[in-house]
Chain A
Amino acid sequence: MSVIELRGLRKEFTVRVKAGRLRRERRTVTAVDGIDLRVERGEMVGYIGPNGAGKSTTLKMLTGVLMPSAGEARVCGLRPVAERTRLALRIGVVFGQRSQLWWDLPLRDSFELLRHVYRVPVGEHAARLARCRGLLDLDEFLDTPVRQLSLGQRMRGELTAALLHGPEVLFLDEPTIGLDVVSKQAVRGFLTELGRAGDTTLVLTTHDLADIERLCQRLVVIDHGRVVHDGSIAALHSRYGSRRMVVAELDAPLPEPPALPGALLVRVEADGHRLLFALESASVAEVVAGLAGLAALRDISIVEPDIEEVVARLYRAPAEVG
């Protein structure tokens, strides 16, 4: 059974829009427009889309905060809204911009409180906390009131708070938003570690595509409330024609453009001293070996495809059903 199952999930909001000085018009906005999704146990899924695409709304429906307008959602086999409190015991939620911690109390107290809230046996709680303390370096600020923590420290606290009851699914809404580089690394490293263990399913929304590249094998892109891509990052690249590039610097230009199997020469720069190949089926090694047989190489560099650019292109494309 899939851990998460969505069938035709929809969410419509009625908003009142100003129309004239006093008149207000009711207008229906579709935030999520029929999403089908299955996530298996242990998967790490990146859920991305532009602002207002319906990411947070989907997450709220999956965690029992919002009721779907239509369609079905099952998380851990439970209906999120109808079985909210039972589901809450089995999922962890981190909303980047809202806190699960007690503002005026030391971080340690929040963890202790959550032990009571989630009814976790003392031993289990201590073991999980010890693990998080090690991986997230919590010790130096464990006795600091949460309001005095830096954003990065607080986020490490939030992550721990969401995991102390051993959730089967962890939902993260913008977990790295506003964090400095070091904190981002810490959070990503921790989530990678969590994913490696293989028994926690992870769904994360983010604007930072580096999160996705580091963490998620699977990428779900939504736009205007619909799924426009669902697959690996590699599949996204091949679908939208972005490929790894090999840049070769030559001692001397070649008399004619070289043809290498499985790679496409896309550009010649610096009077023929620099060649750019896009990899199709060939590996980097094959391209380098092929080139080395033709010319003296001064330098070789590999350029990873820019996921930001692909995704930006995806957002601009008219919402077709993916």
Chain B
Amino acid sequence: MAEPGVLTAYRALLGAQARSQAAYRTSFVVDLVGNVGATAFDVVTVFVLFGVTRELGGFTLRETLVIVGLSSFAFASADLLVGNIERLSRYVRTGLFDAVLVRPLAALPQLLLMDLPLRKVSRAVFGLAVLVVALASAGIHWTPERAALVVVAPLAGVVFFGSVFVTTATVSFYWIDSGELANSVTYGGRDFTAYPVTVYGGWFRTLFAYGMGFAFVSYHPALALLGRADPLGLPAWVGWAAPGVALVAAAIAALAWRVGIRHYRSTGS
């Protein structure tokens, strides 16, 4: 893994992907612009909601925007970096997966780099812009700890969503047409993290927020940044747990990938 040539190899794969996409310049630009749409819609939705209410689950517009910003940036970045792994079943069907396995590099980084959707860069940038504006207008009382958290929490969110993408994609090692199931978790998770978890109720909240850990993407870090106590009564340190949760998610994803690949190799389907 530490072999220096390996990194050069991955960089070369990334460069090739960039040049491949540049081959379709017009459509690339159109997609670049169009891709902002989906993320912008999430933000517009929040404004629309606050047009009819002054608070959402006990949070003001400015506070909610911090949550939206964290969620948008984390999801869009993870979608850019790892999201195309949801095409795993296609890689298996077209034989790309086999082609990748006969090369002297790890399979997952190869697949991600060879199919990196650079046109989604615009979404991640837009998500970052929303986050920056929201943080600036939320009246946060900055401390060194919060300054550290504001850097680490979005990255942890990216790792978390990336892990969700990988974990759900591995289902197609067992069951080729599992795309819809995977989407309900990834896109469902994105929508879930765009609002304070207090707006959801019952078992649904427990499952998504804490069973799957989506509360640690935006809700809890936002509480810590805003200096608010959790209306649901969890202690303040939970807001700082995002990196730990992300690491656990990454470990689960790595395990799921390994097990999935082993299954693929033993069934060849």
Q: Write the residues of chain A forming the contact surface with B, with a CB cutoff of 8 angstroms.
A: 11, 13-14, 57, 60, 63-67, 69, 81, 84-86, 88-89, 91, 93, 95, 97-100, 102-105, 109, 112-113, 116-119, 145
Contacts and interface: CB of A to CB of B under 8 A. Distances in A.
22 contacts: A13-B268, A14-B267, A64-B102, A65-B101, A65-B268, A85-B104, A85-B105, A88-B102, A88-B104, A97-B95, A98-B94, A98-B95, A98-B99, A104-B21, A105-B19, A113-B16, A116-B5, A117-B13, A117-B105, A119-B6, A119-B8, A119-B104
Q: Which 5 A-B pairs have the closest CB atoms?
A: A98-B95, A116-B12, A119-B5, A88-B104, A104-B20
A145 B23 contact: yes
B248 interface: no
A81 B9 contact: no
A69 B266 contact: yes
Contact of B99 (A67, A95, A104): A95
Chain B CB within 10 A, most for which of A88, A95, A104: A104
B96 interface: yes
B102 A13 contact: no
B22 to A, nearest CB: 9
B136 interface: no
Given A57-B268, A66-B268, A119 B9 contact: yes
Given A14-B267, A98-B95, A98-B99, A104 B104 contact: no
Contact of A99 (B8, B99, B265): B99
Interface string B11-28: 111001001110110000
B103 A88 contact: yes
Contacts of A69: 266
A24 B158 CA distance: 40
A102 B16 contact: yes
B87 interface: no
Interface in B68-112: 94-96, 98-99, 101-106
Contacts of B20: 102-105
A53 to B, nearest CB: 15
A67 B104 contact: no
Contacts of A117: 9, 12-13, 103-105
A97 B20 CA distance: 21
Contacts of B268: 11, 13, 57, 60, 65-66
B228 interface: no
A65 B98 contact: yes
Contacts of B101: 63-65, 84
A56 to B, nearest CB: 9
Chain A CB within 10 A, most for which of B13, B23, B102: B102
A13 B269 CA distance: 9
Interface residues of B, number: 31
B258 interface: no
Contacts, number: 88
B84 to A, nearest CB: 16
A247 B19 CA distance: 62
A11 B16 CA distance: 36
Interface string B51-72: 0000000000000000000000
Contact of B265 (A66, A93, A98, A109): A66
Given A65-B265, A88-B103, A117-B104, A98 B98 contact: yes
Contacts of A86: 104
B98 A67 contact: no
A112 B12 CA distance: 9
Nearest to A117: B9
Contact of A67 (B9, B13, B262): B262
Contacts of B102: 63-65, 88, 91, 93, 100
A84 B9 CA distance: 17
Contact of B16 (A81, A109, A145): A109
Contact of A89 (B21, B24, B104): B104
Contacts of B21: 104
Given A91-B102, A95-B95, A116-B11, 4 more contacts: A66-B265, A81-B265, A99-B99, A105-B23
Chain A CB within 10 A, most for which of B3, B99, B106: B99
A95 B101 CA distance: 12
Contacts of B269: 13
A88 B22 CA distance: 30
Contact of A98 (B96, B103, B105, B266): B96
A69 B267 CA distance: 9
A11 B269 CA distance: 13
A112 B70 CA distance: 40
A109 B104 CA distance: 18
A121 to B, nearest CB: 10
